[in-house]
């Protein structure tokens, strides 16, 4: 039976999509790490933008253009406050993937030389791996990995030893989207900074659940996606220290990012607009602002606490099932619970759960090298957000018991 949980945590009704049946069963959405659902105020904010304010930004001198510009820049302000940064340090991008590509192609291109090392970890999403592979190949640099311990935490001794060798860049995830491990981000950043190493933080899996303070974390850059934190898809942000953003070359060139253009030359706009070439996802940014408003109304501390309760209840219940193998640490984790069921393929588990109206993710979760380290090809993953309940966990457990029966485990 589900734990008695404080009824203050009843946010499901704010999410219209959750009020439906899938295959005749009430939808249990446990795939928020792939993308979260959107509350009504976020959906309404996009609709309102298109119905009343749609125009391009930073160009027209007409009412709608000024209004749209103000709404877009307000969203930047909200995003900056959300992560304790200054608004000129926030560049809107499509998401974490585009963000890390931006950082690698500008700051990375400028600062990594032949023979250098780029340090990442064994638990990175492909988005925080492939851009660095590509940069390393272009620069004839070496890509190194901080190892993970058998419990799915980062090996801090290995991190210290590899930082000692002064890599050009250390890029790591705040929270693993497979293991749920919360990395000691301030400690790691301090260790890197002591040796003059530039730090990039993948905050895609932490921004949805943890209060973030980029000023105290001290990383040079960070990137995150709106869609994992209740906002529309196609919008996210890069945080960059102002001096870096000033000194970096642009990522893409064209409209909006220039100050002056002659037939042969161009000069760049001020930061952050220097990195926002072309027409931005204006409605998406407004939606991100609305998602942040929603999260802040609840309070990120409460979001964090409730998520921790859901995750620990899920871990507790899954540990009671002898046919289930759990991956990642049993404490100090966030957002996701990855597991396998006997020797069933995760896609089969997912299909059986789907018959019960339960949505989980199965596969490699864009972390193939991590799967190799774990010695598996795929896992099942249940992931949570504010709209989930302890009953959702109970339904998952019942679904897994059904898997056991079907596959005679």
Would you tell me which residues interact with ligand 7TS (CB under 6 A)? Answer: 33-34, 95-97, 125, 127-128, 173, 177, 202, 204-205, 225, 227, 361, 365-366
Beta-carbon contacts of 183 under 8 Å, excluding residues fewer than 6 positions away, are 121, 154, 172, 173, 174, 175, 176
Q: 12 or 227: whose CB is closer to ligand 7TS?
A: 227
- The three-class DSSP label of residue 228 is helix
Q: 321 or 370: whose CB is closer to ligand 7TS?
A: 370
Angle at 339 between CA 171 and CA 325, to 5 degrees: 120
Beta-carbon contacts of 145 under 8 Å, excluding residues fewer than 6 positions away, are 119, 120, 121, 122, 369
Q: 117 or 205: whose CB is closer to ligand 7TS?
A: 205
Q: 68 or 358: whose CB is closer to ligand 7TS?
A: 358
Burial group, residue 253, by CB count within 10 angstroms (0-12, 13-18, 19+): middle
Closest approach, Cβ 196 to ligand 7TS, in A, equals 26
Looking at residue 126, the DSSP 8-state letter turns out to be G
- Residue positions annotated with a catalytic role: 366
Parallel, antiparallel, or unpaired: how do β-strands 21-22 and 25-26 relate?
antiparallel
- The three-class DSSP label of residue 155 is coil
Among 379, 384, 409, 378, smallest CA distance to 396 is for 384
If you count them, how many residues does the chain have? 409
Closest approach, Cβ 365 to ligand 7TS, in A, equals 5
Closest approach, Cβ 320 to ligand 7TS, in A, equals 26
Beta-carbon contacts of 53 under 8 Å, excluding residues fewer than 6 positions away, are 64, 67, 68, 71
Among 209, 160, 217, smallest CA distance to 383 is for 209
Parallel, antiparallel, or unpaired: how do β-strands 117-121 and 358-359 relate?
unpaired
Looking at residue 146, the DSSP 8-state letter turns out to be E
Closest approach, Cβ 176 to ligand 7TS, in A, equals 7
Closest approach, Cβ 134 to ligand 7TS, in A, equals 16
Q: 38 or 361: whose CB is closer to ligand 7TS?
A: 361
Q: 79 or 173: whose CB is closer to ligand 7TS?
A: 173
- Give the H/E segment covering residue 246: helix 242-247
């Amino acid at each position: 039976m589900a734990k008695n949980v404080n009824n203050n945590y009843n946010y499901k009704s704010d999410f219209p999509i959750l009020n439906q049946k899938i295959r005749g069963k009430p939808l249990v959405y446990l795939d928020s790490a792939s993308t979260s659902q959107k509350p009504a105020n976020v959906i309404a904010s996009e609709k309102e933008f298109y119905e009343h304010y749609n125009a391009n930004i930073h160009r027209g001198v007409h009412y709608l253009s000024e209004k749209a510009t103000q709404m877009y820049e307000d969203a930047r302000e909200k995003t900056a406050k959300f992560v304790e940064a200054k608004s000129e340090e926030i560049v809107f991008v499509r998401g974490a993937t585009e963000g890390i590509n931006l950082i690698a192609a500008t700051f990375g291109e400028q600062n990594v030389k032949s023979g250098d090392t780029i340090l990442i970890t064994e638990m990175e999403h492909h988005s925080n791996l492939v851009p660095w592979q590509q940069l390393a190949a272009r620069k004839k640099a070496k890509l190194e990995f901080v190892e993970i311990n058998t419990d799915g935490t980062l090996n801090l001794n290995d991190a210290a030893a590899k930082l000692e060798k002064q890599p050009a860049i250390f890029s790591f995830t705040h929270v693993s989207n497979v293991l749920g491990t919360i990395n000691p981000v301030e400690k790691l950043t301090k260790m890197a900074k002591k040796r003059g190493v530039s730090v990039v933080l993948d905050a895609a899996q932490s921004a949805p659940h943890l209060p973030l303070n980029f000023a105290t974390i001290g990383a040079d850059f960070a990137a995150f996606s709106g869609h994992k934190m209740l906002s529309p898809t196609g919008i996210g942000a890069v945080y960059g220290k102002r001096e870096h953003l000033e000194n970096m070359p642009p990522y893409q060139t064209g409209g909006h990012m220039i100050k002056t253009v002659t037939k042969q030359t161009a000069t760049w706009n001020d930061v952050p607009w220097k990195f926002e070439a072309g027409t931005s996802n204006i409605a998406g940014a407004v939606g991100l602002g609305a998602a942040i408003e929603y999260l802040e109304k609840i309070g990120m501390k409460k979001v964090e606490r409730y998520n921790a309760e859901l995750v620990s209840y899920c871990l507790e219940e899954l540990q009671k099932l002898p046919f289930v193998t759990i991956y990642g640490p049993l404490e100090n984790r966030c957002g996701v619970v990855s597991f396998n069921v006997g020797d069933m393929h995760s896609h089969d588990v997912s299909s059986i759960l789907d018959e019960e109206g339960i949505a989980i993710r199965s596969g490699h979760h864009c972390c193939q090298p991590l799967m190799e380290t774990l010695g598996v090809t795929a896992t099942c993953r249940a992931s949570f957000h504010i709209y989930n309940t302890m009953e959702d966990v109970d339904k998952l457990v019942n679904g897994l018991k059904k898997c056991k029966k079907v596959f005679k485990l």
